[in-house]
Amino acid sequence: MKSMIDASHRFFDLPEEEKKEFQTRNLLDPIKCGTSFNADIEKVHLWRDFLKVIAHPEFNSLYKPAGYSEVSLEFSKRTREVATEILKGISESLGLEADYITKAMNWDRGLQILAGNYYPACPQPDKAIGLPPHTDHGLVTLLIQNEMGGLEVKHKDQWVLVNSHSMHVWRPVASSWRPVALQSV
């Protein structure tokens, strides 16, 4: 995980000119980066930069920074294995065959998106958020936070801060989540 976080940091540290070639408005492009959601129509910009790469069924990757492709390929393979094991466990816990969910959902053909968010230092952190409350789309979300944290989940109508020193597995349909206000580093 540390290698993937480091590789993502190296991408976000690239000069803006080098990242521009991966900026796109086409939602179907396999590699895209940018800031906020839609800067053309938003009145308030969310304080984050993002990188999204489709890693399955066809692996796509950046050719820069150096080493990103190799690290992201290994990370994508391992996280897909973890997600597959989670789905097997869920199937078995329901009294079904281990591969029931993966077969029913065409898991081998489904998209795997490797996404990274970067929250640069903010001049007015009390007036900014990284992302609004939302629910991830998809069957399984594996979330890895760095030491900064900032994730909250809604539990019994209260927003609760999640420990940032662990890997989290979410059933997106069951809960919404949001980051807390950002702090400058």
What residue ranges in 4-126 does DSSP mark as E strands? 31-35, 49-56, 112-118
- pLDDT the model gives residue 172: 39
pLDDT tier for residue 123 given thresholds of 50, 70 and 90: confident
Q: Domains of the chain: which residue ranges?
A: 2-179
ω into 57 cis (within 30 of 0): yes
Tens digits of residue pLDDT in 4-14: 988 998 999 99
- pLDDT the model gives residue 59: 93
Residue 162 per-residue DSSP state: P
Distance CA 127, CA 93 (A): 44
Percent of the chain at pLDDT > 90 equals 33
150-171: average pLDDT: 68
- pLDDT the model gives residue 73: 94
Phi/psi of residue 158, each to 5°?
Answer: -125, 140
Distance CA 101, CA 169 (A): 16
87-92: average pLDDT: 93
Average pLDDT of the residues of the chain: 78
> Of residues 141 and 54, which shows the higher confidence score?
54
- Token output for 175: 């809960």
| Residue in 138, 120, 139, 131 with CA at minimum distance from that of residue 177 | 131
Residue 67 per-residue DSSP state: T
> Of residues 122 and 100, which shows the higher confidence score?
100
| Residue in 139, 124, 99 with CA at minimum distance from that of residue 183 | 124
Return the SS3 of 143.
strand
**What length does the chain have?**
185
Name the architecture of domain 2-179: Sandwich (2.60)
Is the pLDDT assigned to residue 171 strictly greater than 80? Answer: no
Cα dihedral 36/42/46/50 (nearest 10): 0
